Structure 1
Amino acid sequence: MIAAEKLSDWVASRHAGQLIRRTGKPYFNHLIAVAEMAKPAVAFGYEIGLCHDLLEDTNTSAEQLNEALVGFGYTLSDANSIVYCVNELTDVFTAAAYPELSKSERKELEAQRLIKMSPAAQTVKYCDLLYNMDWVLKFDQKHAKVYLKKKKLLLGTMTKGDQGLRQHALKVIDSGLKIIADH
């Protein structure tokens, strides 16, 4: 079994029992979709995409992820690069960490943080947004217009990642907003 397969199995086990809201499907499906989108766009895109929610949605630390990656056969340098991007993609301004801030204040601070991420992390974030926008359009149309407008503003400032993916995300937003307006 190659390193990426070992990592995939391990990540699936860490997210065991988690489901995608309103679908009943394993949350791991979201991670695979993001990983597959990111794979051709950035070095270690598959691995970063697979792990992008690991630190915030499981009881896994960055150190544990690094140890696992090395154990699966990644070099220490490659493992460090993957973990660095996963850390960048992990929410910092959470309700647990900043209970004194309102949700809107936390979201604004998080958006400001995302602007400063590395191009690799922004590229994986574009993939995450593409998946999430598709989900919102299918399963949460009530909130889709506001969500898409917020993501359009974010993508207007988050410009360092893969431009093909960014442009695709902006097109998805525009077509989604048009579909909503036509209904």
Structure 2
Amino acid sequence: MVDREQLRDWVREQHAGQLIKYTDNPYFEHLEYVAEKAENKALLAYEIGLCHDLFEETKISAGQLMVVLTSFGYGEAEVVHITDSVTELTDKFTKKAYPNLSKIERKRREAERLIHISPDAQTVKYGDLIYNINWVLQYESTRKKEKYLRKKQALLGKMTKGDPGLRYEALELIRQAENVNSV
């Protein structure tokens, strides 16, 4: 029997002490939002959403995640699917991995990579983008907002394999923000 609550609590524990930038809110709120936004839109999207930043924001490895998921009752195929999707959602073109590439080039390559990830991982990424777009609209300067929205609109234009409803929601958020900014 799968215990999603145990997974939820464990992920919260892994991110303990982390805060959402510019707020006093626990980082787990972001993960929970993404998980709930993607839930029922793709296979195991809730679990993938909860775990999507584990490899970037904690010291948890893919092997450790597999052991934990198994201990919470997930079957082998589920464990592999969740772990593979989280791996797909983990930035590859980091400064540490590619110190000789400029930040612009790393971001360009990362965006290109995301175009080719699986539909389930893209679906969760749409939920992540929806959260991040809302956050940027609330907390960033106008110049940063405009630049961010342009980049994400271009990414969503090419990242088309995930849930169409969530993709539309992300694009619509950008469109609405642009209308507000042009008034």
For residue 167 of structure 1, report the CA deviation from its aligned partner. Answer: 0.9
- Residues 132-183 of structure 1 deviation map (CA, whole Å, 9 limit, x = unaligned): 000000111331111001000000000000001111111100001111222x
Alignment of 1:157 with 2:158, yes or no, is: yes
Measured on the aligned residues, the alpha-carbon RMSD in Å equals 1.0
Contact 2:2/2:74, CA 8 A, preserved across alignment: no
The one-character-per-residue Cα deviations of 1:56-91 (angstroms, maximum 9, x if unpaired) are 110000000010000011011111110010000000
| Structure 1 runs, 4 residues or longer, greater than 3 Å off | none
- Counterpart for residue 102 of structure 2: 102
Residue number in structure 1 paired with 2:173: 172
**Could you say which residue in structure 1 is the equivalent of 2:74?**
74
Q: Residues 11-36 of structure 1: CA distance to partner in whole angstroms, max 9, x if unpaired?
A: 11110100000111000000000000
| C-alpha contact 2:7 2:72 (8 A) present in aligned 1 | yes
Contact kept, 8 Å, 2:122 with 2:162, in 1: the verdict is: yes
Q: What TM-score results when the alignment is normalised by the length of structure 1?
A: 0.97
2:68 aligned counterpart, secondary structure: helix
Tell me, in whole angstroms, the C-alpha distance in 2 between the residues paired with 1:32 and 1:151: 21
Aligned to 2:18: 18
Counterpart-to-counterpart distance in 2, 1:52 and 1:59: 13
Cα distance in 2 for partners of 1:2, 1:112 equals: 35
Secondary structure, aligned partner of 1:21: coil
The one-letter code matched in structure 2 to 1:128 is D
Q: Quick one: distance in 1 between partners of 2:25 and 2:182?
A: 29
Higher mean alpha-carbon deviation, 138-147 vs 105-114, is at: 138-147
TM-score, normalised to structure 2, is 0.97
Q: Which moved more, 1:1-10 or 1:147-156?
A: 1-10
Q: Alignment length, in residue pairs?
A: 182
Deviations 1:101-121 (A, max 9, x none): 000000011011000000000
SS at match of 1:92: coil
1:1-183 paired onto structure 2 within 5 Å: 3-142=3-142, 143-182=144-183
% identity of equivalent residues:
53
How far is the alpha carbon of 1:2 from its aligned partner?
5.4
Distance 2:178 2:53 in 1: 27
- Give the Cα separation in 2 of the matches to 1:161 and 1:2: 25
| Structure 1: 5+ residue stretches without partners | none
Q: State the one-letter code of the partner of 2:151.
A: K
